[in-house]
Amino acid sequence: MLNYLWAGMIIAGIIFAAFTGRMPDVTNAALDSSKEAITLCITMMGVMSFWVGLMEIATKAGIITAASRRIQPLIRFLFPDLPADHPAQEHITNNMEPETGENVIVAVDTERYERYVEIQLRKTIDSKTVQILTPMEVVYEGGRRIQLPDDRENAAYYVFGPYGVAGIFVSPGGAVSLADAVAGTVVDENGERVWARGIRAARNQIMAIQEAAATEEKSALAVCLDTMLEYEGISRNTQFLLDRGEDVIQILEENLMDAAVLDLKGCRLDTVLYYVNMDIPVLALLEDGSAVLLVGFNEYNTGILDPRTGTIDKMGMNDSAEWFEENGNQFITYRKAG
83/95 same-domain check: yes
Render 60-98 in DSSP notation, one character per residue: HHTHHHHHHHHTHHHHHHH-TTSPTT-HHHHHHH--PPP
- If asked whether residues 191 and 68 sit together in one domain, one would say no
Q: From 199, 231, 257, give the residue that closes a domain.
A: 199
Domain ends where: 199, 219, 236?
199
Which portions of the chain are predicted below pLDDT 50? 96-100, 152
Residue 154: per-residue pLDDT: 61
- Measure the CA angle with vertex 143, ends 141 and 144; round to 5°: 115
Are the beta carbons of 217 and 239 closer than 8 angstroms? Answer: yes
CATH number of the structural domain spanning residue 278: 3.90.70.10
* pLDDT of 159: 92
What range defines the domain where residue 80 resides?
62-121
Question: 75 with 53, same domain?
Answer: no
Q: Is 260 left (phi over 0), alpha (psi -120 to 50) or beta?
A: beta
How much is the pLDDT for 16? 82
* 96-136 tens-digit pLDDT: 444 445 566 666 555 555 556 666 666 666 666 666 666 66
Whether 295 and 328 map to the same domain: the answer is: yes
Contact 55, 96 (CB under 8 A): yes
**Strand 157-161, strand 185-188: pairing:** antiparallel
Instruction: Look at residue 308 and tell me if it is in a domain.
Output: yes
Residues 294 and 182 placed together within one structural domain of the fold: no
Do 234 and 281 lie in a common domain?
Answer: yes
**Looking at the domain assignment, is residue 220 inside a domain?**
yes
In a domain, 114, yes or no: yes
Q: Is residue 132 part of a domain?
A: no
Choose the final residue of a domain: 17, 44, 60: 60
Is 50 inside any structural domain?
A: yes
User: Is 144 inside any structural domain?
Assistant: no
Assess whether 54 and 67 both reside in one domain: no
What is residue 172's predicted lDDT score, i.e. its pLDDT? 93
Residue 250 lies in a domain: yes
> What strands lie across the sheet with 115-121, from one edge to the other?
99-100, 103-109, 115-121
Residues 55 and 76 in one domain: no
Domain match, 184 and 246 both: no
In a domain? residue 131: no
Count of domains in the chain?
4
Q: Do 214 and 315 lie in a common domain?
A: yes
